[in-house]
């Protein structure tokens, strides 16, 4: 197990900055730059939305062409650069060109990410100023500024890091930042995330990042919507001298940092008042378990019941029933747990079995539902398939945030 | 075209009642009974949820066994009789038995429907009193009372009727009532609905009702959840002497009444402030068009933007992009219309084409978005598939209603 810290001190070999260049109206940080002292091996996981933002298209191409010499990642908030046509592509490329100019790397060694409103062009005068300011502010200890600069409706920055020792005895660091809050759906990376490490890993990073995302960013649901910009990048530059092996802690560390960031996103879900863990067991297979868990996690009726601290288990059972998996209601068993208990039945309150509610006391269920962290386990009694998904409740605040987002 | 009235005067050959038997706390009507003077040919369309309420199971069996001699339908609000095990089945059967006793028909000639909270047993003393009171109150002109008695979070009763003349020259009536407001998803009947007529139709009713539901109840979305109880029944008793032909107005009338009821459900969606028509055209086929339309209609981000009267078309395009249909963003065109315009482009404001927003004026879009009825058309430029779906916005009031539903 890898111990993950909720902050980032530094990852020697990487410099970062978070600055304000006028993209956010309120003077908050809105442009981040991460720069590596040496070429990085890099990997990316991107939105599966058919409508992909310009920075997604640019990064996918660059990671295909030059995955072994990425030097910088520039991230702006305030504008998603999505649905912006050829001009959007040109603007993403120009952003990278400026980064190359101001930092002295090659322009095809720069990746870009954008987040914010869809359908407006990047204000390039502000972007240029952002690149200039950020290049001048690069330092090893500015991770929090960078994490703040990529926030949109997030209420707090999301960071994670870990310090490890490689197979060759050298210490190294791994760190990540992320943004998210709404438009968080259960399939594929559903936000912006960047994970960097100064270790070197002797195998392709793409499958490793994909596996980590499968266990983290792809297991969270806020509202079921999927963005045009979702991207997670992994950069590995080997500057610590640490050389890992495929069986070392490196894959675990990437997964653990990704998971911490993913859970932070759910905890900071738009308007969220509750953190909810949904474990489905006993399904025909893992895909079926995941489908059931995601159907429960995206149900507006389930989410509003959690907001109301109402143990309305009927909505959970009904969501499982419409998931498309042929569940047998007489075989279902549903438990409610306080906190983040994710396996077993101990400490759980059995609400439903044999096609009927148990004789549980409604007050006891209510006491659990009022906690800020609640778990459910639904066992389908039909196999060994299991899946764990994290979500949050649906509050009136979510509606207010999203009704007024562009104003 | 069949002219549909928003009220029901009477359908000679049918008697109805709506009474209060104590299932609703506030003294409101909560038990409805519809009784036919003669055996009816009947058909039913039911929820595709794997978790089916006791009345659904009972009705499916009866319609299979005796579809040509149904006499009565009893409907209670306040308790869904879902997730209630064998006792729930026994209670549904007992309800039918009491109806048979008090009205003098056979118990297997009675259908039952329930709506309300999942997972509690029917309070049978109240149900018995409901049957007794309703049987004593049966009359030709009590349709509004019946429509009111089946309401749950509905704010108003839903009724529709039409007067027609059959192929043999005889006049006849068709009438329907429905309830619904939340848990309205795009697949299968998603509420309770009952349509009756005193005409006789010389062909099986099941495919006819199914086709009508496909064009009405299966085209509406409130929140994407699907209930355990959804049922639409059609009863045809021929008491008017009207004999229709398969090519007469009868199928149109069933569809028109169903559509009026379905649209009433959307208009009265929980917390809804806007009626939204979503037309998708130019999709590879009709199924693809429907999938895109339903994805847009169930998107929390799209629905909250409508609530905020924000023409945030990027969310609509993004929803289409994640629908699973391989849309090409450069081929998409999106129009916004005032009111219920459902085809063509005239009067529409083109917001998006060629992968980018048009030069539309934001104020003009805002003026349309602030109307109580708004339409969008998304053309995919990829075929002849088209689908029309109706939905409503997602408001803070929806959250409040569903957070507190059981308290």
Does residue A188 carry a pLDDT above 50?
no
- Which of A323, A403, A404, A405 would you mutate first to test chain B, the one with the most B CBs within 10 A? A403
| Cβ burial B355-385 (10 Å sphere, 16+ → b, else e) | bbbeebeeeebeebbeeeebbbbbbbebeeb
Q: pLDDT band for position B183 (50/70/90)?
A: low
Q: What pLDDT does residue A141 have?
A: 96
Q: What pLDDT does residue A47 have?
A: 84
Q: Which residues of A touch B84 (CB under 8 A)?
A: 355-356
CB B31 within 8 A of CB B19: yes
Give the Cβ contact number of residue A370 at 10 Å.
13
Pick the CATH number of B275-403 from 3.40.630.40, 2.30.33.40, 3.10.20.340, 3.10.20.30: 3.10.20.340
B115 is catalytic: no
Q: Which residues of B touch A319 (CB under 8 A)?
A: 225
Q: Give the mean pLDDT of B373-379.
A: 96
> In this complex, which of B49, B82, B321 lies closest to A322 when CB atoms are compared?
B49
Q: Which residues pair with B333 in a beta bridge?
A: B379
| A179 to A235, A236, A264, B135: CA distances (angstroms) | 17, 20, 9, 61
* Contact criterion met (CB < 8 Å) for A314 and B225: no
In total, the C-beta contacts within 8 angstroms joining chain A to chain B are 216
Q: Which residues of A touch B119 (CB under 8 A)?
A: 313-314, 317, 352, 356-357
| Domain boundaries B14-267, CATH class | alpha beta
Q: Give the mean pLDDT of B352-366.
A: 93
Q: What pLDDT does residue B233 have?
A: 96
* Contact criterion met (CB < 8 Å) for B318 and A49: yes
Among the residues of B150-246, which ranges form H helices?
205-214
* Contact criterion met (CB < 8 Å) for B329 and A87: no
Q: Which residues of A touch B328 (CB under 8 A)?
A: 50
Nearest CA in chain A to B403: A308
Q: pLDDT band for position A223 (50/70/90)?
A: low
CB A338 within 8 A of CB A331: no
Q: What pLDDT does residue B224 have?
A: 61
pLDDT digits (tens, 9 = 90+) for A282-327: 999 999 999 999 999 988 889 999 999 999 898 899 899 989 999 9
Of A280, A140, A366, A80, nearest in space to B406 by CA: A366
Tokens 């792809």 belong to which residue? A218
Does residue A336 carry a pLDDT above 80?
yes
Q: How high does pLDDT run on average in chain B?
A: 91
B337: left (phi over 0), alpha (psi -120 to 50) or beta: beta
* CATH 3.60.70.12 domain range(s) in chain A: 14-267
* Contact criterion met (CB < 8 Å) for A183 and B223: no
Tokens of A222: 């806020």
Tokens of B171: 């006049």
Q: A21 vs chain B: nearest CA distance in angstroms?
A: 24
Of A133, A137, A33, nearest in space to A77 by CA: A33
The reported pTM is: 0.86
| Selected catalytic residue, list B41, B84, B190, B231 | B190
Helices and strands counted in chain A (H then E):
11, 17
Nearest CA in chain A to B301: A402
Q: Give the mean pLDDT of A18-30.
A: 95
* CATH 3.10.20.340 domain range(s) in chain B: 275-403
Nearest CA in chain A to B395: A399
Q: Give the mean pLDDT of A200-227.
A: 86
Q: What pLDDT does residue B188 have?
A: 33
Does residue A189 carry a pLDDT above 50?
no
Q: pLDDT band for position A183 (50/70/90)?
A: low
* CA–CA gap between residue B202 and residue B199 (Å, rounded): 10
pLDDT digits (tens, 9 = 90+) for A90-124: 999 999 999 999 999 999 999 999 998 888 899 99
Tokens of B336: 């916004």
| A131 to A21, A74, A76, A96, A273: CA distances (angstroms) | 9, 8, 10, 9, 36
* Contact criterion met (CB < 8 Å) for B310 and A87: no
* Contact criterion met (CB < 8 Å) for B396 and A400: yes
* Contact criterion met (CB < 8 Å) for B119 and A313: yes
**From A141-155, A216-230, A366-380, B192-206, the region with the lowest mean pLDDT:** A216-230
Q: Give the mean pLDDT of B197-219.
A: 92
* CA–CA gap between residue B208 and residue B45 (Å, rounded): 10
* CA–CA gap between residue A87 and residue A121 (Å, rounded): 8
CB B173 within 8 A of CB B162: yes
Q: How high does pLDDT run on average in chain A?
A: 91
């Amino acid at each position: 197990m890898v111990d993950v810290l909720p902050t980032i001190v530094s990852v020697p070999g990487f410099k970062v900055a978070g600055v304000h260049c006028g993209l956010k109206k309120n003077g908050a940080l809105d442009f981040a730059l991460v720069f590596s002292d040496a070429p990085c091996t890099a990997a990316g996981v991107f939105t599966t939305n058919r409508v992909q933002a310009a920075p997604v298209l640019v990064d996918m191409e660059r990671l295909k062409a030059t995955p072994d010499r990425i030097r910088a990642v520039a991230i702006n908030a305030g504008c998603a650069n999505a649905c912006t046509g050829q001009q959007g592509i040109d603007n993403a490329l120009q952003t990278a060109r400026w980064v190359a100019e101001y930092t002295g790397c090659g322009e095809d060694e720069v990746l870009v990410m954008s987040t914010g409103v869809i359908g407006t062009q990047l204000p390039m005068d502000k972007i240029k100023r952002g690149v200039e300011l950020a290049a001048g502010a690069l330092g090893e200890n500015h991770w929090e500024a960078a994490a703040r600069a990529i926030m949109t409706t997030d209420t707090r920055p999301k960071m994670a890091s870990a310090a490890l020792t490689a197979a060759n005895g050298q210490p190294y660091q791994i760190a990540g930042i992320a943004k998210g809050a709404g438009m968080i759906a259960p399939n594929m990376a559903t936000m912006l995330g960047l994970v960097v490490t100064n270790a070197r890993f002797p195998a392709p990073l793409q499958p490793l990042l994909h596996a980590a995302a499968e266990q983290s960013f792809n297991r969270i649901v806020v509202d079921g919507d999927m963005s045009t910009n979702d991207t997670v990048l992994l950069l590995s530059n080997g500057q610590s001298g640490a050389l890992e092996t495929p069986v070392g802690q490196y894959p675990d560390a990437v997964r653990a940092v990704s998971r911490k960031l993913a859970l932070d996103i759910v905890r900071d879900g738009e308007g969220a008042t509750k953190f909810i863990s949904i474990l489905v067991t006993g399904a025909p297979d893992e895909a079926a378990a995941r489908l059931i868990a995601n159907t429960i996690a995206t149900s507006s009726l389930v989410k509003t019941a959690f907001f109301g601290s109402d143990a309305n288990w009927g909505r959970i059972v009904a969501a499982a029933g419409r998931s498309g998996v042929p569940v047998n209601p007489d075989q279902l068993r549903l438990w409610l747990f306080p906190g983040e208990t994710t396996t077993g039945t101990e400490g759980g309150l059995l609400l439903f079995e044999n096609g009927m509610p148990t004789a549980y006391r409604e007050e006891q269920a209510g006491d659990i539902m009022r906690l800020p962290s609640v778990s459910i386990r639904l066992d389908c009694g039909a196999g060994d398939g299991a899946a764990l998904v994290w979500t949050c409740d649906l509050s009136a605040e979510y509606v207010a945030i999203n009704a007024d987002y562009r104003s």
